[in-house]
């Protein structure tokens, strides 16, 4: 049996696996196919939702549950089945209205089970022509829940100002994560790619030390901290570069292929990953993260059940 069969590799999509649009780099496709053919386990961990990943999955072999919506969903593509799902709480709608009242210049994408919609915002000061072409336009009040995400579209020069707006309020049951230099996403509190990776480990009965993760932005941070081995792209922030074990090349040149090449060239290091014991500090930190996430997830689930019961 190949040593790769004990490794579970997760890649972010936009900015890591894909540089622009939906096309996976040829080097990445070839490397993933080779990795899986020799026994490796591969999955994606993305902010995208189920309605937006088919175009990616058609290009690459995936044999692990997909981590979607920044950790709020775990999805088995082979059976087309959602294994875990945490929608935004009902209060997220009111929170979004409040944010738009105080930052009317931002754009907004709303995601529910029917797909993506762009909020009809006449005050948006930034040109989102690409977004306009991709998604139907409707007013926020016309789009029913339950909501999967609210994605705020920003002028990159005003991202810090938008965070200042968010920090003036205390939001219940939700968090925010920055997924690019022009977008901030609302997510259920305590939900991120890192807690989802821990959930996948429980589902598959594997240890976190067997996992490898690669990402490029702040919504990948918890996953990179949690994984047994982690990597980021050359264009990532210093925060991410100081978190990971390896910095690879540019996304546009096939960054994931760089990581897979590194794994196969350093077999001795990765053969020991399954038996490597976590430090006591890591165990305590990960248990604390998981415990908090489970409590918050239960609270969100109760909010969702109350919402459906209305």
Q: pLDDT at position 286, please? A: 55
Q: Which residue has the tokens 């230099």?
A: 181
Q: In the chain, where does DSSP find H-type helix?
A: 26-37, 54-57, 91-102, 129-134, 159-166, 193-204, 221-226, 238-241, 255-265, 267-271, 280-309
Which CATH fold would you assign to the domain 91-188?
Answer: 3.30.1240
Give the residue among 95, 220, 191, 232 at the shortest CA–CA distance from 152: 95
Tell the residue number behind the tokens 């490029």, with chain if given: 216
CA angle 225, 155, 236 (to 5 degrees): 30
CB 27 within 8 A of CB 253: yes
Q: What is the pTM of this model?
A: 0.84
Element (H, E) at 234: none
> Does residue 182 have a cis peptide bond before it, meaning omega lies within 30 degrees of 0?
no
Residue 308 pLDDT greater than 50, yes or no: no
Q: Could you report the per-residue pLDDT of 4-50, keeping only the tens digit for each?
A: 999 999 999 999 999 877 899 999 999 999 999 999 999 999 999 98
Q: Do the domains 3-86+192-276 and 91-188 sit in the same CATH topology, yes or no?
A: no
Residue 300 has a pLDDT of 53
Let me know the angle formed at the C-alpha of 35 by 85 and 277, rounded to the nearest 5 degrees: 70
H or E element at residue 42:
strand 41-44
Asked if residues 70 and 12 have their Cβ atoms less than 8 Å apart, the reply is no
pLDDT in tens, 134-171: 788 888 989 999 999 999 998 888 899 999 999 998 88
- CATH architecture under which domain 3-86+192-276 falls: 3-Layer(aba) Sandwich (3.40)
Q: Do residues 191 and 71 touch, judged by C-beta distance below 8 A?
A: yes
Provide the greatest CA pair distance for the chain. Answer: 59
Q: CB–CB of 43/63 below 8 Å?
A: yes
- Give per-residue burial for 223-244: e unless 16+ CB within 10 Å, then b: bbbbbbbbbbbebbeeebeebb
What are the residue boundaries of the structural domains of the chain, listed by start?
3-86+192-276, 91-188
What is the reported pLDDT for 273? 65
């Amino acid at each position: 049996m190949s040593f790769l069969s004990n490794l579970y590799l997760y890649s972010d999509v936009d900015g890591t696996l894909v540089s622009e649009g939906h096309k996976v780099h040829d080097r990445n496709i070839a490397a993933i196919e080779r990795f899986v053919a020799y026994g490796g386990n591969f999955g994606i961990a993305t902010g995208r939702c189920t309605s937006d990943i088919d175009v990616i999955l058609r290009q690459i072999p995936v044999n692990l549950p997909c981590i979607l919506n920044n950790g709020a969903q775990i999805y088995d593509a082979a059976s087309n089945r959602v294994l875990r799902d945490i929608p935004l709480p009902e209060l997220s709608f009111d929170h979004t209205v409040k944010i738009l009242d105080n930052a009317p210049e931002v754009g907004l994408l709303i995601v529910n089970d029917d797909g993506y919609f762009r909020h009809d915002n006449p005050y948006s000061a930034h040109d989102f022509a690409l977004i306009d072409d991709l998604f139907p336009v409707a007013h926020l009040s016309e789009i029913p829940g339950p909501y999967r995400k609210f994605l705020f579209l920003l002028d990159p020069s005003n991202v810090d100002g938008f965070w200042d707006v968010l920090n003036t309020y205390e939001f219940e049951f939700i968090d925010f994560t920055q997924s690019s230099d022009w977008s901030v996403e609302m997510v259920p509190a305590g939900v991120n790619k890192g807690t989802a990776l821990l959930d996948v480990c429980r589902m598959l009965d594997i240890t976190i030390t067997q996992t490898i993760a690669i990402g490029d932005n702040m919504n990948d941070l918890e996953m990179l901290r949690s994984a047994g081995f982690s990597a980021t792209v050359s264009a990532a922030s210093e925060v991410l570069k100081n978190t990971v074990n390896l910095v690879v090349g540019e996304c546009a040149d096939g960054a994931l292929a760089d990581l897979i090449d590194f794994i196969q060239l350093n077999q001795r290091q990765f053969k020991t990953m399954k038996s490597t014991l976590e430090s006591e500090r890591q165990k305590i930190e990960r248990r604390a993260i998981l415990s908090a996430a489970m409590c918050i997830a239960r609270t969100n689930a109760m909010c969702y059940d109350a919402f459906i019961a209305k």
